[in-house]
Structure 1
C-alpha cells in the first residue's frame, strides 16, 4: 500500500530542535510544548521516512547516519520557508561593497552556501572576502579595514567589538567504527584520556580544547597536532586515535571510505559558537545591514533596536 502521509513543518521543527538539544526534555522546554508532542511527532516522522532518525539512550537522542542526512535537508527546508515568508529582509536592489573577514573553519564549513544565496538574492552587492586568523580579524575590524566578520564568537573577548552568535555547533567525540567506547553507556573525558588523541590546532581549537580539559583531573594523550581537519578525519577513521570536534566539520566518512562514529560525552564540553562581529558603535552601511539581516533571518535571530 502506498504511503501517502505528508511530512509537516511542525514535525521538521520538532526534529531539528531535538537534534540540536540532544534531549526531548530540553527540546520541549525550548519550544514550550509537551514532551509527548515531540515524541509522537518524531515517531510519525520516522514512520514516514521509513528509518530511525535517532538512537535512544539514557544520555539522550543521538542522530543516526540517516538522521544526520535528514537534518541537512531539514535545515534547508526551514531556511527556504523563512526566505519565502520573510518580509523584513531589505530589498534585493541594494547596491554596494562589503569587506568581509572570516576564519578558516567558517570559510571551509559554514560560509559558501550563504554567500551563494546572498549573491543570488542581492546581485548588486559586492562582497570582498578575506581569510584571516581571529587576532587579525579583530585588529582589522577595529582599524576599519574590514566592515564585518564571521568567526568563532566563542573565541572573541575584545570589549570594543559587538558580537551576535548565530549557531552553536555541539562538540562530540569522534571514534572509528566498532570502537570499544561505542559499547559503553556513558563516556567521560577520563575515558578519552586513555586513548591516543588527534589534536586539531586551526582556529585556536587546541586552546579551546585545553580550557575544558583543564577543568578535570585528566589530559588528552596527544599523538599528533595538525591544522588539517581532513587529517584528523582520516586518522580517526583508520583507528589511529580519537578527537573531539564540532558537528559543523563532521563528515561521517574519511577520504578512504571508512566510517566515523560520534559519542556525546558525559562531561560538559562547550559548543563551538559561530556568528558575526563588528566594531562597536559603528554606523552600518546598507550593505552591512543587508548582510546582518540575511543571517538574522536564516538563523531566526530577533532584531534588537
Structure 2
C-alpha cells in the first residue's frame, strides 16, 4: 500500500496533539478516519508508530524518527505549493463574500494557497452577514461566497458544501459531565449555558433544541467566540459549538474539553455559493476545483 500525504497529515496531527479525538477535531474529519489512516500507515511501514494509553497516544522510538521525515516531506510539498505558477494564464478579479465565522476560522489559509497557485488572479474579500451575502450574489455584486451553507435556503443560489463540522458540548477541564458515560440534552439543560449569536448560531441552536422537550438555561448571549471560550474554560457555563471553532485553550490558558452528545446535533456545513444559472468564469471554476481537490480525499475517507 502506497504512502499518502493524507496519512502523513493525520499522523503529524496525532503526534502533535497526543489524542486521536483532538487530531480529528483539528482536521475537521471523523476520528475513525484518523484511526484508519494511521493503521494504514503502520501497516505500510510494518511497524508501530504510537503506543495507545488511557489518556491518548505517545510516539514510539520509530514514530519519533518517522515524525522528522514526515515534517520534511510535508514541508517540501507545502513549499512546492507556494511556488507561483508562472505559467498560469488565469487573470482577472474575483469578488468573494464570506461570513464572520468562515473568515475567522476557515478561509484565510485557503486564500493564501489560491494566491500562490494563481498569482495573476486578484481575490477581493468582503465580510458580510448571510442576508447581505445572498443579496450580493443575486445582484452580481459578488461572484462567489464562502459561508455556512447549512443556513442558506434561498432557491436562487447554488450551494456546494465542502466540510461538515461536528457540533459538540464544550465544558471546562474538570466538569462533572466528563465523568458520565453519555450526556444528553436533559443533562445539558440543567447547566448554565453560554449562547453564541454570531452567524445565526442562536437561531440554529434553538432549532435543534426545539426538537427536544428541553431548553437551554442561557446565562449569556454573545457574538464573541472568545467570550464563550473563556466562560466555558472558567467553569461559568457550557456551550454547544462546532469543531471548526474549537481550540483546547482559552485566552487565560485554561483547558476546554468536548463531549459528543448522545442526542443528534446537526453538523455545521461550510461551503461555496453562487447565483444559479450564472455562467462560471474561469476564476470561479478554479476556486471550485481547488476546494474539491482539497477536501474530496478527507471527506471520502471519513
SS of equivalent to 2:187: helix
Structure 1 counterpart of 2:103, from 89, 103, 107: 107
Alignment match, 1:280: 276
Show the counterpart of 1:234. 230
In structure 2, the CA distance between the partners of 1:40 and 1:300, relative to structure 1 (3 Å rule), is: closer
Structure 1 runs of 4+ with >6 Å offset: 13-18, 42-46
Counterpart position of 1:3: none
Match of 2:295 in 1: 299
Are positions 1:159 and 2:160 aligned together? Answer: no
Correspondence for 2:117: 121
CA distance in 1, matches of 2:54, 2:93: 43
Q: Which residue of 1 aligns with 2:300?
A: none
Find the counterpart in structure 2 of residue 178 from structure 1: 174
Pick from 234, 243, 259 the counterpart of residue 263 of structure 1.
259
- Alpha-carbon distance between aligned partners in 2 of 1:92 and 1:53, rounded to the nearest angstrom: 50
Q: Which residue of 1 aligns with 2:127?
A: 131
Gap runs ≥5 in structure 2: 14-19, 58-66, 298-302
Deviation at 1:171, TM superposition (A): 0.5
Q: How many residues align?
A: 264
Change in Cα spacing, 1:104 to 1:245, as seen in structure 2 (3 Å) is same
2:239 alignment partner in structure 1 = 243
Counterpart in the other structure of 2:63 = none
Q: 1:42 to 1:184 in 2, by over 3 A?
A: farther
8 Å contact kept, 1:181–1:187: yes
For residues 7-26 of structure 1, the aligned pairs below 5 Å read 9=5, 11=7, 19=24, 22=30, 24=32
Per-residue CA deviations over 1:47-77 (Å, capped at 9, x if unaligned) read 4245669869xxxxxxxxxxxxx9xx99x95
Offset at residue 92 of structure 1 (A): 2.9
| Matched residue, 2:61 | none
2:214 maps to what in 1? 218
Taking a change above 3 Å as real, the CA distance of residues 290 and 270 of structure 1, as seen in their structure-2 partners, is same
- Provide the aligned C-alpha RMSD in A: 3.5
Distance 1:108 1:219 in 2: 29
Q: Deviations over 1:77-97 (max 9, x none)?
A: 5xx59x97xxxx9x7331010
User: Whole-Å Cα distance in 2 between the matches of residues 187 and 282 of structure 1?
Assistant: 46
Report if aligned partners of 1:7, 1:48 keep a CA contact under 8 Å in 2: no
Over residues 115-169 of structure 1, what are the superposed CA-to-partner deviations in whole Å (9 max), with x where a residue is unaligned? Answer: 1111111111001110000011001100001100000000000011000000000
> How many angstroms does 1:242 deviate by?
0.3
Q: Distance in 2 between matches of 1:136 and 1:10?
A: 37
C-alpha distance in structure 2 between counterparts of 1:105 and 1:277, whole Å: 16
Partner of 1:48: 49
SS at match of 2:296: coil
The answer to whether the 8 Å contact 2:7/2:38 transfers is no
1:207 matches 2:200: no
Instruction: Provide the C-alpha distance between the structure 2 equivalents of 1:54 and 1:166, rounded to a whole number of angstroms.
Output: 32
